[in-house]
Amino acid sequence: MFRYSTFALALVVSALCAGAEDLLVLQDLSGRQGGRLVYAQRSEPKTFNPIFAADSVSREAIGMMMADLVHINRYTQRTEPALAKSWTVSPDGRRYALELRRGIRFSDGQPFSADDVVFSFRVYLDTALDSPQRDLLMPGGKPIVVKKVGDCRVEFDLPVRYAAAERLFDGFAILPRHLLEPAYKTGKLAEAWGLRTPPAAITGLGPFRLKQNIPGQRLVLERNPYYWKADKNGIRLPYLNEVDLTQAGSEDMQVLRFESGESDVIRRVGAHDFAVLEKESRRRGYTVSDLGPGMEYTSLYFNLDPAAGRPGFLRRRSFRQAVSTAIDRNALVRLVYGGHAAPLGTPVPPGNKAWVDASLRPPVPSVSAARALLSSGGFKWSGGNLLDPAGKRVEFSIITSAGNDDRVQMATLIQADLKELGIQVDVVPLEFRSLLDRVLRTHQFDTALMSMADGDADPNPDMNTWMSDGGNHLWNTAEKSPSMPWEAEIDRLMRQQMTVPDYARRKKMYDLVQQILMEHMPLVPLVSPDILVGAKRNLGNFRPALMDHYTLWNIEELYWRELRTGERP
């Protein structure tokens, strides 16, 4: 999309990272400064500490105040320079040398240098802190080694070759050593940057800085005067003076606030709310858009753990394939999502354009084909009821999240589809954490209808999902090594693709993984919901993306075409 070039002054080479300011100039970008954007968050952020933030609301706020070395552009899904203006990779693919921007400053005016980068990664990797992000910096199970090789140059040594390793840097906020090192040394880092920390004590390299925090009500962020991006006219970003992150309290209130005009942008809405908002959009001066399927996929997971004591037919491939064939995915899309979703033929959603195996189409629903599959597997019918090869009636339960109406509705439709095969299905909605407890800890479930979301388009962060020893290997989280040959093959392919630098070769391997999954069906991919967003019509440079954060990922580029009454330019 945008073409990036370095500012002319940056050509002045300095021995120090200080010196001429090395701005990132977005050559195709223009806009006007001023105004305030109001965005209703679902709840209040829990912390401003990037090391320990685990919830999406906190990360949302932190993301506006912090910056990373290399960033994944949410629109193109490709990496682009951020605090690192360039990088090189050694021939063995294990050493990344990053050249940092010179002369840039934190939002409190203090200079940024390689020391801040080294400090940040030391903290993220500290085993005593258990940062939730630490595992991302452990390719192959061993930590990355970071060293300073100049005031504006750092090197990262990877323990193993790791394809697309530059994507690892996305989301790792670079911390101000001058503010956080004392807390780190005294073991108080976990308590640092809480909600009651004075705004002046929180600083970052992002487009905004904290101006005011009224707990439970709103955060007010103001423009970071030292931000390191500029537009084609040399105007330093961000364009907006302020961002008001008001706390709605619930998703319903987010929608109501947007509809009533009290919030300027809405991040993501459900299909039912979208229909209401769409109807009102002209009258109320906003637009809503359906971006198509995103990175989330909803699947029916079978419990394949033999020790869990679940019915034996669940472990028969013909049974799982028959279930998949009998489910009418188009009906799920139509009835549950009002058409705002895509049926799936693979667990990689179509929003992940670079990695989805497009040859895997969703199966055409067919009761007769499903019956044929069951017959070939030794299943029989008696009085309209399906019997397994041992002569027992086939009945099982689907557990799903009670707090998600869409999933409960989907489970009910699947129940109706499978009834045509003579299968008795019980739908059991459970509170979300109870559901997780059953799937991940006690393994007391037959099937689970759950949604997962790819945090990145690349397959590497999904190793825990597809590898047999992964914690998110939902069809059998108990196994520590592959219990079936096809699982061993998936393990081999995933390990191999992780180290191969060539995209085409990796894609071929990942396609194979998807094909094996669809042949053995430990999970039935069902649908991928569309990303439905909205914003005031007056908001310039609004380019919603399929990756999270869908609407405010380029907040520094957003501007008001016309300022509202009383707003300062």
Partner 1 sequence: MRYAARRLLHSLVLLIGVSLLSFLFANLAPGDYFSAMQTDPRISAETIAGLRARAGLDQPLPVRYAGWAESMLRGDFGYSLAYNSPVAPLVWERIRATLLLTGTATFVAWLLAIPLGIWSAAHYGGWRDHALNAALSLLLAVPDLVLAIVLLAGAVETGWLPVGGITSPGWDIMDAAARLRDILSHLALPAGVLVLGMLPVLTRHVRAGMLEALRSPFALNARAQGIPRRRLLFHHLLPAAANPLVSLFGFSLGTLLSASLLVEVVTGWPGLGPLFLDAIMGRDFALVLAVVMLSTALLAAGNLAADLLLYRLDPRIRVQ
Inter-CA distances, 423 with 366, 382, 414, Å: 15, 11, 11
CA atoms within 13 A on the CB side of 486: 12
Does 233 sit near partner 1 (CB under 8 A)?
no
Does 479 sit near partner 1 (CB under 8 A)?
no
CA nearest to 555, candidates 96, 37, 95: 37
Q: By rule CB under 8 A, what string of x and - marks binding of each residue 379-418 to partner 1?
A: ------------------------x---------------
Q: Please list every residue from 16 through 35 that binds partner 1, using CB under 8 A.
A: none
Does 434 sit near partner 1 (CB under 8 A)?
yes
Q: Please list every residue from 62 through 121 that binds partner 1, using CB under 8 A.
A: none
Does 461 sit near partner 1 (CB under 8 A)?
yes
Closer CB to partner 1, 454 or 557, in the complex? 454
Does 359 sit near partner 1 (CB under 8 A)?
no
Can you spell out the DSSP letters for 473-526?
A: -TT-TT-SS-SSHHHHHHHHHHHHHHH---HHHHHHHHHHHHHHHHHH-SEEEE
* Contact in structure between 172 and 121 (CB atoms under 8 Å): yes
* Token reading at 7: 């500012």
Q: Please list every residue from 120 through 149 that binds partner 1, using CB under 8 A.
A: 127, 130-136, 138
Q: Which stretch binds partner 1 (CB under 8 A): 87-95, 287-295, 436-444, 495-503?
A: 436-444
Does 462 sit near partner 1 (CB under 8 A)?
yes
Helix (H) or strand (E) run with residue 398 in it: strand 395-401
Q: Please list every residue from 331 through 350 that binds partner 1, using CB under 8 A.
A: none
CB of 401 to partner 1, least distance (A): 11
Residues with Cβ < 8 Å from 275, sequence gap 6 or more?
338
* Token reading at 73: 């552009």
Closer CB to partner 1, 23 or 474, in the complex? 474
Does 250 sit near partner 1 (CB under 8 A)?
yes
Give the interface size with partner 1 as a residue count (CB under 8 A).
63
**Candidate list 109, 198, 384, 433; residue touching partner 1; CB under 8 A:** 433
Q: By rule CB under 8 A, what string of x and - marks binding of each residue 196-225 to partner 1?
A: x---------------x-xxxxx-x-----
Output b/e per residue, 258-272; b: 16+ Cβ within 10 A: bbeeebbbbbbbbbe
Distance CA 415, CA 398 (A): 9
Distance CA 204, CA 218 (A): 19
Please return the burial class of 436, using the count of CB atoms within 10 Å of its CB with bins 0-12, 13-18 and 19+: middle
Q: By rule CB under 8 A, what string of x and - marks binding of each residue 488-527 to partner 1?
A: ----------------------------------------
CA nearest to 245, candidates 274, 216, 203: 216
**Candidate list 97, 253, 331, 500; residue touching partner 1; CB under 8 A:** 253
Closer CB to partner 1, 42 or 393, in the complex? 42
CB of 38 to partner 1, least distance (A): 5
SS3 160: coil
* Contact in structure between 294 and 546 (CB atoms under 8 Å): yes
* Token reading at 54: 């685990």
Closer CB to partner 1, 463 or 498, in the complex? 463
Specify the DSSP class assigned to residue 323.
Answer: H
Does 452 sit near partner 1 (CB under 8 A)?
yes
Does 275 sit near partner 1 (CB under 8 A)?
no
> Which residues of the shown chain bind partner 1 in the complex (CB under 8 A)?
36, 38, 40, 43-44, 46-47, 49, 52, 54-55, 127, 130-136, 138, 190-191, 194-196, 212, 214-218, 220, 244, 246-250, 253, 256-257, 259-262, 403, 432-434, 436-438, 440, 452, 455, 461-465, 470-472
